[in-house]
Structure 1
Amino acid sequence: MGRVLVAWVPDFPVIAVVADGVPPDEPVAVVHRDAVVACSPAARRAGVRRRTRVRVALSRCPVLRLIERDLAVEMRVFEPVVRHIEATVLPSLEVIRPGLVAVPARGPARYWGGEQELADRLVAAVAELGHPARAGVADTVFAAALAARTGQLVAPGTDAAWLAPYPVGVLGVPRLTEPLHRLGIRTVGRFAALPEAKVLARFGAAGQAAHHTARGLRSRPLAVRATADEHVVSRVFEPAETRVEPAAFAAKALADRLHERLDAAGAVCARVEASLELSDGRTLSRVFRHEGRLSAPALAERVRGVLRAWQESGAPERGGEHGMVRLTLRPERLGAATGRQEALFGERHTPEGLERAAARVQALLGHRAVVRMEPGGGRGPAERIRLVPFGDLDTGRRAGGGPWPGRLPAPHPASTFGSRRPARLTSADGSPVALSARMALSAPPAAVAVEGHGRLAVAGWAGPWPVLEQWWEPGRARRIARLQITATDASAWLLVVEHGRWWAEAHYG
């Protein structure tokens, strides 16, 4: 049985955002789908932990800075680490995700004098770039990744016994953990002792794969009719391309084609090699590993990040003579597709064809190009409907009912603005109309000017209506007032004043 070494850089998503310009000493949390992925030491001292819900994290650290995870940035920052490892320790490795790499340990361990020596050299190589790292060795990738958290070397043939005391939650299958707990099975060892046939009948293919992991078995590739080489997709650039964005756009199309071929064969891939041929004869490559299905948008995002990292290192040269001539995606470790069913619109389930089409539009036009509407609570008209990107959880869920003191009654505006537009409200003598602390206007409004709509004479107004929100949180408290204005051309506006400035929030008619 082969041995696997896994090197782990703790909190690498935070390291990536710090490298992207975020101050390193402030409490920062990188989040994805309403959960904390990684947090800075300052946030950890305040009680924030990985997998903590965003709302809980903010309650523990009100000044916490939340940053949405960006895999392209993480891959770009991690690429120099990968190149340094390849140049100083061993020539080939697999990127499981930014901050986590796996390498076959047997051959390199013989060269360096043992597994412990190999692990020490790998950790030292990462430390040379200023990143703390830990390494673990085991018979399987899963056990080695878990061992890397404590820097352990698991003896050959003992993965199952070493994993046995861990809680079943470490297997990473939430839908499996709860029913096992109800059955009184709380450790990996007790789950591994169950008959495989019973696990397959009760929990399906996902449960069987987790059972193999618990028993310290390698993931056995299932038989598929086509070989991986039959699914290779590539794009030739004529003339050679020296810009990243056209190549990244081609990567999105290649990822879609790759998954279309895999779907037609009833297969999924766990690893994909992206290789880039340059006009000077060099070939750059990177292997991406994904536990489970590697979606087309996720693959395209990873390739885009690596392309940018390669260009920043000078290969290919930006605007130089040596450009990109061919980009190739090659799937590895194919397995049979077991199917899936996910909710896109509320509790209703959507066909995979619709999900693929939505993901394709997102890959071409951006993450927010496909959204769904979710009702919510709020006092302003723009707050009552939220647009949630396809594939994301509704992280801002709030009850749409009341009471909401200060909420504007019907009739509702015909249109709201995505962002408030600057406005100016003036009196008859041309001086700005202000609002006092007692909610009184300094003078009757005579004219209103909204950015993009010119200056209009005021025919009438209603209000103001004060709103004081989140007064218990000094950093997020908001004190505003709203005013309805009717112009002489029969148009009407909803204005809001905050910190002495007027803004147009919505338009009637």
Structure 2
Amino acid sequence: MGDGGTPVRTLLVWCPDWPVIAAEIVDGVPAVDPVAVLHANRVVACSEAARRDGVRRGLRKREAQSRCPQLTVVAYDPGRDARAFEPVVAAVEEVAVGVEVLRPGICALAARGPTRYFGGEEPAAERIVEHVAESCEVESQIGIADGVFAAGLAARAGRIVPPGQTPHFLADQPVEALGRPRLTDLLRRLGLRTLGDFAALPAGDVLARFGFDAALAHRLAAGRDHRPLAVRRPPPDLDATETYDEPLDRVDAAAFAARALAERLHDTLAGHGLACTRLGIEAVTADGQELHRVWRHDGLLTAAAIADRVRWQLDGWLSGTNRRPGGGGRLAPPRPTAGIIRLRLVPAGVLAQAGLQPGLWGETGAERERAHRALSRVQGILGPESVVTAVLGGGRAPADQARLVPWGDERLPARPLAPPWPGRLPPPAPAVVLPVPLPAAVHDSTGQLVGVTARLEVSAAPARLTVGTTAAVEIVGWTGPWPVDERWWAPAEARRAARFQVSLADGGALLLCLAAGQWTVEAIYD
């Protein structure tokens, strides 16, 4: 995104079914046969022949094999995909500079340079597709649009979206194009079936109702740049560089050295409150050859994620060759003429660590699996109820909205989120919900106990709060009441209450409840 907020005209190169093509390049699995690449027992990519027999992404292995008995199953290997994609990126870079790898199989660059050089967007796209086919014998499709997200969708259709027409192009796309299954399911149930329907919602309402990730998706649907936060170029001292006395000519040795350098870069950025979103990898060989590649990532690059991308890139460089394998087939990655003596990691795009963070168990499946085994072991020793996770559901009081579920059980909320729940508190949510509310008393400036009438009128402004036997604390701000009238149709179970949010002179903030004439403290805010 430029300084004025206009999305950059982007040219995106997409190689369809890349995990399948990478398996053919590296392992010799014929891509013309029915082939499926599996991860966690589910299909993540398949060949055209497999699709003709009904194989689709997301199918379990057994279901895919039942649809296509001749199916060849290949294990998912991101390192293999990245290594095989390196010659494609190199081929694109021979035609246009400034290539960024989004993920193996997809790379992008600003369209302005090649467009001006080749005399238009269509000639530039044709030249890149032809050069990739000639150099690597790989089929590719080009999409050009305003912004990376729109260019990706355009590439799948082989389209060039005219400047300024990106919102119109996106409006007819299904919400599944966002790549967020949970959000897509929710939007479908709300009757929002296209990106245009989603983009028509007010941005503030989307953030308040669906959260931060949905707000980012809303920007994509509206045709705005895929990075809503201002990415700035970091100062030079954030780079991480290492020089090696012995040239690195083996992948394992280079990967080991790269991990230490990746951790150093991550620690440096973390010390400045920054996170990397675009990583430049630069290497210099013993005879002076310079290698450079940029990796792009939607979200934060953790130390492990940085190390993985450096390892994949070094594997792509050091495992290459300058001849065709077996005298034919696709061209393998070009191999450096000597070992690497200097490695430099450049955070080409950084942003403040605000609102984006990895999951509790990390970003990789291995980390989550390790956490799952550890928690299951604790359950085996102490019992199923010893490890629980919170599931957010519907309800009016904060204590009603969370349900503790034993680890491994189905995570179903106690109450559905869908109802409007009149009387529910507005955000922000309290930081601590007390398991047992504390008895309290709220007095006005004259010392009289504050009450609430049937018409929800406060008898006087709250002035002082007393909790238990502690000394009274001055109330400097308050809002409410938030009324609750539950199960009024069943007198024996009926409950009427009014909640207040108050800020205190000592800097604290509490959630108070008045029910049956008794004040209690239900929760504490940060």
Coarse TM-score class (shorter-chain normalised): 0.5 to 0.7
Structure-2 residue corresponding to 1:119: 125
Question: Alpha carbon RMSD of aligned pairs, Å?
Answer: 3.2
The aligned amino acid for 1:132 is E
Q: 2:96–2:113: 8 Å Cα contact kept in structure 1? A: no
Equivalent residue in structure 1 for 2:347, among 327, 331, 350: 331
Structure-1 residue corresponding to 2:18: 12
Task: Confirm whether residue 134 of structure 1 aligns to residue 138 of structure 2.
Answer: no
Matched residues in 1 for 2:369 and 2:250: separation?
24
* Identity, % of aligned positions: 45
The aligned amino acid for 2:113 is G
Structure-2 residue corresponding to 1:76: 83
What SS class does the counterpart of residue 20 from structure 1 fall into?
A: helix
Matched residues in 1 for 2:173 and 2:159: separation?
15
Once the two structures are superposed, residues 126-181 of structure 1 have per-residue CA deviations (whole angstroms, 9 ceiling, x without a partner) of 11121111111101111111101111010111111110111112112223222222
Structure-1 residue corresponding to 2:74: 67
Cα displacement (A) at 1:288:
0.7
Matched residues in 1 for 2:161 and 2:217: separation?
19
Matched residues in 2 for 1:163 and 1:234: separation?
42
Equivalent residue in structure 2 for 1:38, among 45, 52, 55: 45
Matches within 5 A, 1:21-420: 21-24=27-30, 25-87=32-94, 89-128=95-134, 129-220=136-227, 222=229, 227=234, 229-311=236-318, 312-313=320-321, 322-337=338-353, 338-340=355-357, 342=359, 350=360, 355=362, 372=373
Structure-1 residue corresponding to 2:509: none
Structure-2 residue corresponding to 1:471: none
Matched residues in 1 for 2:164 and 2:84: separation?
36
The aligned amino acid for 1:333 is G
The 1:260/1:210 distance shift into structure 2, 3 A limit, reads same
The aligned amino acid for 1:372 is R
The aligned amino acid for 1:17 is A
Matched residues in 1 for 2:285 and 2:62: separation?
47
The 1:231/1:56 distance shift into structure 2, 3 A limit, reads farther
Cα displacement (A) at 1:214:
0.9
Structure-2 residue corresponding to 1:430: none
Q: 2:15–2:141: 8 Å Cα contact kept in structure 1? A: yes
Q: 1:143–1:163: 8 Å Cα contact kept in structure 2? A: yes
Q: 1:94–1:103: 8 Å Cα contact kept in structure 2? A: yes
What SS class does the counterpart of residue 201 from structure 2 fall into?
A: coil
The 1:249/1:169 distance shift into structure 2, 3 A limit, reads same
Cα displacement (A) at 1:297:
3.2
Once the two structures are superposed, residues 370-426 of structure 1 have per-residue CA deviations (whole angstroms, 9 ceiling, x without a partner) of 872798xxxxxxxxxxxxxxxxxxxxx999xxxxxxxxxxxxxxxxxxxxxxxxxxx
What SS class does the counterpart of residue 291 from structure 1 fall into?
A: strand
Matched residues in 2 for 1:172 and 1:228: separation?
33
The number of aligned residues is 359
The 1:107/1:316 distance shift into structure 2, 3 A limit, reads closer
Q: 1:248–1:303: 8 Å Cα contact kept in structure 2? A: yes
Q: 2:167–2:223: 8 Å Cα contact kept in structure 1? A: yes
Normalising by structure 1, what TM-score?
Answer: 0.64
Cα displacement (A) at 1:223:
5.7
The 1:224/1:85 distance shift into structure 2, 3 A limit, reads closer
Q: 1:226–1:265: 8 Å Cα contact kept in structure 2? A: no
Q: 1:96–1:288: 8 Å Cα contact kept in structure 2? A: yes
Matched residues in 1 for 2:171 and 2:228: separation?
24
Q: 2:18–2:105: 8 Å Cα contact kept in structure 1? A: yes
Matched residues in 2 for 1:125 and 1:7: separation?
12
The 1:13/1:218 distance shift into structure 2, 3 A limit, reads same
Q: 2:20–2:37: 8 Å Cα contact kept in structure 1? A: yes
The aligned amino acid for 1:33 is A
What SS class does the counterpart of residue 36 from structure 1 fall into?
A: strand
Cα displacement (A) at 1:113:
1.0
Cα displacement (A) at 1:269:
2.4
Matched residues in 1 for 2:191 and 2:339: separation?
60
Q: 2:42–2:59: 8 Å Cα contact kept in structure 1? A: yes
What SS class does the counterpart of residue 149 from structure 2 fall into?
A: helix
Cα displacement (A) at 1:119:
0.5
Q: 2:234–2:348: 8 Å Cα contact kept in structure 1? A: no
Matched residues in 1 for 2:126 and 2:232: separation?
42
Matched residues in 1 for 2:271 and 2:61: separation?
39
Structure-2 residue corresponding to 1:503: none
Once the two structures are superposed, residues 14-64 of structure 1 have per-residue CA deviations (whole angstroms, 9 ceiling, x without a partner) of 111111234315422112234322112332222112333434323322443
Normalising by structure 2, what TM-score?
Answer: 0.62
The 1:116/1:256 distance shift into structure 2, 3 A limit, reads same
Q: 2:233–2:350: 8 Å Cα contact kept in structure 1? A: no
Matches within 5 A, 1:415-494: none
Note the residue ranges of structure 1 that are not aligned, 5 or more in a row: 343-349, 376-396, 400-509
The aligned amino acid for 1:125 is H
Note the residue ranges of structure 2 that are not aligned, 5 or more in a row: 1-5, 323-332, 377-407, 411-526
Structure-2 residue corresponding to 1:474: none
Cα displacement (A) at 1:221:
5.5
What SS class does the counterpart of residue 326 from structure 1 fall into?
A: strand
Once the two structures are superposed, residues 50-93 of structure 1 have per-residue CA deviations (whole angstroms, 9 ceiling, x without a partner) of 33343432332244332222121112211112222222x11331
Structure-1 residue corresponding to 2:450: none
Q: 1:228–1:332: 8 Å Cα contact kept in structure 2? A: no
The aligned amino acid for 1:326 is R
Q: Which moved more, 1:139-148 or 1:77-86?
A: 77-86
Q: Which moved more, 1:268-277 or 1:223-232?
A: 223-232
Matched residues in 1 for 2:281 and 2:97: separation?
16
What SS class does the counterpart of residue 23 from structure 1 fall into?
A: coil
Matched residues in 2 for 1:256 and 1:97: separation?
21
